[in-house]
Amino acid sequence: MITMDTIRSELNDIKYYYARREQFDRAFDSVGKNEILKTVEKYNRVICLAGPKLYELYVCLYIDCHTHVATAEALNYSENYIYKTNKKLIEFFHRELNKEAA
């Protein structure tokens, strides 16, 4: 069973990967595929099952690497709404990833 803390940690790793994607891509040829790509693929596959608001939030926060403040401005929501919706996003991943593992 995957925990909420594990999901938060993996989402931070995904954000780190996308922020430095060019470096990872360059290293792929000489070093090989990093394990983070398996995590990225797993979360990207699962987010396709989400509703449009959670999908959009995932893209803004974790793929485009925006802060909560920048995401709120870009999507025209309050910061509080972004924090609450991010919590729903983490709960969504928790439910779906544990469903897959069962």
pLDDT mean for each 10 residues of the chain (102 residues): 97 97 86 89 97 97 97 96 98 96 76
Nearest to 96 by CA among 44, 59, 37: 44
Secondary structure (DSSP) of the chain: ---HHHHHHHHHHHHHHHHTHHHHHHHHHHT---THHHHHHHHHHHHTTS-HHHHHHHIIIIIS---HHHHHHHHT--HHHHHHHHHHHHHHHHHHHHHHH-
Domain ranges in the chain are 4-101
For position 41, what pLDDT does the model report? 96
For position 95, what pLDDT does the model report? 97
Nearest-5° angle of CA 77, CA 83, CA 88?
A: 105
For position 74, what pLDDT does the model report? 94
